[in-house]
Structure 1
């Protein structure tokens, strides 16, 4: 039989589990609305709640009455305003991704990979030079500050437009952070390695240079040949096909790989030149 202390311990455990589950659900909801307009609306709701507490604390009855009504009718307003986010959360719950580890991040990474691959393929066929660096664990703020801030949604169309010759932003690197274009026309450090092929230009040296000091992934499109290259950890692979580029990006940006930074690339024909 259970004694009273055992029952108390059981109650404590259920309370802890309850709190952890609620915290996890709130965290997942925050991840769903992160990067959307719903974030600003959520901040407005927090302001209303804060004003309600203050009015109640200081005895401001009229203001408290207004806040009570705002909160009471706000439940319906929240359902209407957050309808797109709620629908997306229900869709992810139906697909089993809402509670899966890194499910939302994986979906965002897949969209980013598709955008980079499509843009790279388009520019390679037309020999439009490009330099795209993707931030991972090591921050690239030092290099972001050298460029033009954008903080724009990552799309293949925008990437292509940035690198069109003779446009203000085409010269330099695009830096992608958290699945958005953070800045363009950025300057990356040039590699001083003596083993780099002489036929490689400034873009390839910059791609290798940033890969030597950070864990970023950098994609290069050659203006002279239209060839596509990729760098990571001071290593360069050249003449990558569209399928191979997609495979490498998906592998390196996956949540599993990010938790295991010591894993090496499974390249075919890994070389410096």
Structure 2
């Protein structure tokens, strides 16, 4: 009998192509560094981090039937990912993400997630009458889906009983999460910039942004601000903690690491402060390249 997952991760599964340099970079910089290609995408990054914490996630996404897709499917399987419910498309190419990072952080990035957008609700078939129908547990959802599909999910009875944990995927897609501001079971994971874009205002601190999100009708949120204090806020409690200082060696995937660590901590039964502290520490370890 196939093991039933304890969380479903919905969104981007693609190839991450990342160029990293240790030197400070500006527009037009041409410097030596390293270029890597690894399985990535918000949903997959979250799933991999969750598995490292002992959880068993299943992925809902799309991968092309092209050579890159077959290679990606195999790479994900070797990482121990549950790919049983991923939609394989015969007419859509496998998605890709490309980023350049310098010693001063992310310089630029392009997310080519057009196949995920084009696949639409085909990726949700397992939840809508398929093997995962009637799901009432955790769902990690990323904003790489189209606004129309996210709106459908926000009002879909198939998701009504789920514990929805949602990330925008990038600042440019933050506004796509607007339908969840009034959802009774949605928790948003955003950074300070994304919170401002979502509410069409700017905020000085994560606490200011978190309180504004609650005022807008949101059920719960976690707002980060790089090395500055992060805030977890709900109707019952507002908690702010300061991340520890580290030397930043990478940034792509940091938000996914934070979200996964927090979800796993709460799944273990950790209290709010302990869960936020673990998520911040896991992120510090990730961006610094340290190891436990």
Normalized against structure 1, the TM-score is what?
0.26
Q: Which has the higher helix share?
A: 1
